[in-house]
Structure 1
Amino acid sequence: MSYYKLLCHYWSQPCIRTDAYTLSKLSTNNVVSIDIRSQENDIYNTIIWGSPVLYLKMQNSVLFRTAPRYSGRLIQRPFILNQARFDGTTFANRPIMSALTDAIKRDHSVLNEYYEKIVGTDDLDTQTRYQNLFTWELARHSIGEELVVYPAFEKHLGAKGKEMADKDREDHQKVKNVLYKFQSMKAQDPEFLKTFQDLFKDLKEHIKDEENNDLPALERQLDSDSSDGYARSFERTKLFVPTRSHPTAPDKPPFETVAGLMAAPLDKLMDVFRKFP
């Protein structure tokens, strides 16, 4: 897997081509930090905290499109990003995944990466750090889906969409219950890895059904602008939701929104004292 990390200028243009030379000349005003990971043809990125420092380490050029400029504050921003070698083909006619599916699959790929980090080492400190990061990612991802994606199933797919959403919420509840137990375990606990592997087994089944059945059914009902809008809403929602599992909280809006806004500040405060990679 190739790995690049860069700090990009916050452009308002819908699409630009850039490279190391161009980025080195950019102003450091309005910058955001993003991770870009490439694994064969599956492209995904993780937004991390903004910083006024321009740092770049990359081997390939990138094509990227940003969300609209946010006036007045520097915060985490959702990106829709595609990496490609620049061969003269325009961004518009490259075969790319629908935006909402792309955003969700990015998260799934990141969760799988963190899973491998935990089960692939015997170092307790590394396991603890990735335990916290996995919990942080999955908690936000799950609530983002429940607040944005599952209501979209119900809106665009009628009775079938409601059936899909109800099943996905049941899947989430099962995972949340185990995540709630796992997030408080110590890495030296004899049941630590078994609990995590059981959790991820259930999660993988849910992911498989979601990617192969639910999302394609929804995307067939959406035009590109609608899919893009849902993707942006999904990414924005994750900025304001809890970062730990709360299995007794509501799993539908508007009550989940209210509960999330109440729980999120405490979760994020406690995250300051937790270890992360």
Structure 2
Amino acid sequence: MATAKRSTVTDALVKDHRELEAHYNEVVNSTDPDHQERYGNQFTWELARHSVAEELIIYPAFEQYLGSKGHDIAEKDRKEHHEVKEQLKKFQGLKVKDPAYIPTLKSLWANLKQHIKEEEEEDIPQLEKVLSTEHQHTGVSESLATKFGRTKAFVPSRSHPSAGEHPPFETVMGLLTAPIDHIADIFRKFPDKTVSPNPSTK
């Protein structure tokens, strides 16, 4: 009996990136405030968790497996993440009827889209190349993908730029703020057709 193929780091990150793009499009292509609010919350929820999980799992892997070049990649990505998280914090604080709601999201997405492009075309392929040539029998890529997915269950679901982008401080801050975010999510509107944003389900 064949076993199911486990997800690689690339699979896990690209899946998240496409979901973020889909949620973004739902907001900007709609004129229904209720729809925009639900998908705006979903976008925030996905991006906040994705960003922190990358910083705790993926960026240290760059440094571990790509040496000094990986350190440079990780620091560049952390800097870009901080800018996006500052924009996300501004966006998540806006009401859907605020005139700045859509422009703020579009500005955020412009930066995030470029960051995603660099990750998918440059950063992640470099990591995967090393893992496939030097660690092909140890399943490191699959293991990182699993850790990445599990980590998203425990991190904040809103943007907290002041926590920084480096573990362990970010980890401690995340453990303190995540439960508050998760409880507050109960009272936010989310898309009806998606799984209720319970972090343990994603």
Q: Report which of the two structures shows the higher radius of gyration computed on alpha carbons.
A: 1
Distance in 2 between the 1:185 and 1:127 partners?
Answer: 12
1:230 paired to 2:144: yes
2:129 aligned partner, one-letter code: R
1:113 paired to 2:22: yes
Q: Which has the higher helix share?
A: 2
Shift in Å at residue 108 of structure 1?
0.1
- Secondary structure, aligned partner of 1:158: helix
Shift in Å at residue 250 of structure 1?
2.4
1:200 to 89, 109, 116: 109
Q: Summarize the alignment of residues 97-108 of structure 1 with structure 2, pairs less than 5 Å apart.
A: 99-108=8-17
Distance in 2 between the 1:158 and 1:247 partners?
Answer: 27
Shift in Å at residue 276 of structure 1?
0.3
1:234 aligned partner, one-letter code: F
Q: How many residues align?
A: 186
2:124 to 212, 215, 224: 215
Q: String of CA shifts for 1:124-172, please: whole Å, max 9, x gaps.
A: 0000001110000000000010000000000111111000000000000
1:165 paired to 2:74: yes
Compute the TM-score of the two structures, normalised by the length of structure 1: 0.65
Distance in 1 between the 2:2 and 2:153 partners?
Answer: 22
Change (3 A) 1:127 1:218: same
Residue in structure 2 matched with residue 156 of structure 1 by the alignment: 65
Compute the TM-score of the two structures, normalised by the length of structure 2: 0.89
Residue in structure 1 matched with residue 182 of structure 2 by the alignment: 268
Shift in Å at residue 191 of structure 1?
1.1
Distance in 2 between the 1:240 and 1:14 partners?
Answer: 32
Distance in 1 between the 2:78 and 2:165 partners?
Answer: 7
2:56 to 116, 132, 147: 147
Distance in 1 between the 2:164 and 2:95 partners?
Answer: 27
Distance in 2 between the 1:178 and 1:221 partners?
Answer: 33
Distance in 1 between the 2:20 and 2:118 partners?
Answer: 16
Shift in Å at residue 214 of structure 1?
0.3
2:96 to 152, 172, 187: 187
2:159 to 232, 235, 245: 245
Residue in structure 2 matched with residue 136 of structure 1 by the alignment: 45
Residue in structure 2 matched with residue 59 of structure 1 by the alignment: none
Shift in Å at residue 264 of structure 1?
0.3
CA contact (8 A) 2:82 2:164 kept: no
Q: Where in structure 1 are there 5+ consecutive unaligned residues?
A: 1-12, 16-63, 66-79, 82-98
Structure 1 segments, 4+ long, off by >6 Å, are none
Distance in 1 between the 2:73 and 2:164 partners?
Answer: 18
CA contact (8 A) 2:37 2:96 kept: yes
Shift in Å at residue 14 of structure 1?
6.9
Distance in 1 between the 2:2 and 2:159 partners?
Answer: 36
- Secondary structure, aligned partner of 2:96: coil
Q: Which has the higher strand share?
A: 1
Q: Where in structure 2 are there 5+ consecutive unaligned residues?
A: 192-202
2:34 aligned partner, one-letter code: D
Q: String of CA shifts for 1:94-130, please: whole Å, max 9, x gaps.
A: xxxxx10110000000000001100110000000001
CA contact (8 A) 2:53 2:152 kept: yes
- Taking only aligned residues, the RMSD between alpha carbons, in angstroms, comes to 1.3
